[in-house]
Amino acid sequence: MSFNSFEYLLFLPAVFLLYWFVFKRRDAQNVLIVVASYIFYGAWDWRCLLLIALTSLCSYASGAWMQKFSQTDVRRKILSLSNILLNLGILCYFKYFNFFGESFTALLNALGIQADWVTFNIILPVGISFYTFQALSYTIDVYYGKIRPTNDVVAFLAYISFFPQLVAGPIERATNLLPQFLAERHFDYASAVDGMRRILWGLFKKMVVADNCAMAVNAIFSDYAQCDSATLLLGAVLFAFQIYGDFSGYSDIAIGSAKLLGIRLMQNFNTPYFSRDIAEFWRRWHISLTTWFRDYIYIPLGGSRCGQWKTLRNTFIIFLVSGLWHGANMTFVCWGLYNALLFSVLMLLGVNRRNVNMVAQGRVLPNIKELLQMAGTFLLVVVGWVIFRADNISIAFEYLHRMLSDFSFTMPIVGRKALLFVLLLVIVEWLQRGKEHGLQFPDNAFFRCRGVRWATYYLLFMMTLLMAGRETDFIYFQF
């Protein structure tokens, strides 16, 4: 069941009404969330429910058993490692089994050793990377004593399977989300209204911006060998906004849907294309994943406290793992290494923490320096997105070579409508860059007028209804 489907349009209000008017007690609400989440997830493939149930129950049991042993007891470590290896084993089997098998066979053949690899038709369960990382965070946090293991199995099942963020995040921590399922929830009208605004903004970003960009991007990338450099550049730029509108739009709908149920999820995007360097970009893009890698891999490896070269090593490990997390393809690995190189340059120069505040703070427009920094950073990000989007590395390099060497200044025919929607998105997000989302209206007399607010809602709703591109799945469902 996808957020941009008619089924979800019926599903969410039904859950909302049952949640607040029928299942009024916390325990009953948690049962409803688990049932609704399993219906939501099972709509893709009921067999995937077995995997998420296995992950949930094993993680719950390991946490319950760990509390029986002291922090220094070796049995506590064995339980933690066993559950981590089980979850990682399931993830790696479904996501990487054929990739590594085929890579190993290719290596043997290159060495003159004839080998054949039998591939299996393994279906990647939607969202497996997201809920697996959520389960891992619980196990690790319990082991280190950051959170007490829960004895409420229903609340834990709700934590792992919470349908708004189940298949594409944000990747929540047990320290933030689980306590919300253990506490009583009370309906908050203002929060629910803001949740509805955020859902509308997310649908606009997905169905109007991302889906219209997708039609032009697919046409350009499928025929890149016949396109001039201007068209290829347009295709790369439009993909940057396709993946942003698609993924951040999903996050907006997820956060808004959770707000309707009295649950607060973490912010996952913070106007990343207004970043002034790559380090700032990664502090603003897919925040739940980058902070997960920081807290559970980068810092345990020593972080930035272990000397310059080990810090660089840790940085490359993080970006390599990030690339592999996105999928079993060398394009993702190279994309991760490309970003690691860009990030490492800033670290060597000691300027990776230079831009931590909002750009043009307190001003309507950026100055020339900020504008050039944002343009340069965006171009570097776009180059990375070409590698990410391409079917293989050779296509990525050929695409980039033609885009950056065969200069032409003709106006591309495709993508003109998508560019208008991108421009509208950029203007709104620039004006709202200090807000959580584009429809979080400023508190002034103009927007306090109910007519202005409802006119804005109506305009966005009609644009979403009438100008939506061809319906496509969310990009991050495949990860």
> Catalytic positions, please?
326
User: H/E/C letters for each residue in the chain?
Assistant: CCCCCHHHHHHHHHHHHHHHHCCCCHHHHHHHHHHHHHHHHHCCCCCHHHHHHHHHHHHHHHHHHHCCCCCCCHHHHHHHHHHHHHHHHHHHHHHHHHHHHHHHHHHHHHCCCCCCCCCCCCCCCCCHHHHHHHHHHHHHHHHCCCCCCCCCHHHHHHHHHCHHHCCCCCCCCHHHHHHHHHCCCCCCHHHHHHHHHHHHHHHHHHHHHHHHHHHHHHHHHHCHHHCCHHHHHHHHHHHHHHHHHHHHHHHHHHHHHHHHCCCCCCCCCCCHHHCCCHHHHHHHCCHHHHHHHHHHHHCCCCCCCCCHHHHHHHHHHHHHHHHHHHCCCHHHHHHHHHHHHHHHHHHHHCCCCCCCCCCCCCCCCCCHHHHHHHHHHHHHHHHHHHHHHCCCHHHHHHHHHHHHHCCCCCCCCCCHHHHHHHHHHHHHHHHCCCCCCCCCCCCCHHHHCHHHHHHHHHHHHHHHHHCCCCCCCCHHHHC
Q: N- to C-terminal Cα distance for the chain?
A: 16
**How far apart are the C-alpha atoms of 8 and 129, rounded to whole Å?**
22
Instruction: With CA atoms as reference, report the closest residue to 288 among 168, 387, 384, 143.
Output: 168
Instruction: With CA atoms as reference, report the closest residue to 402 among 215, 218, 236, 239.
Output: 236
How many residues are given for the chain? Answer: 479
**How far apart are the C-alpha atoms of 431 and 412, rounded to whole Å?**
29
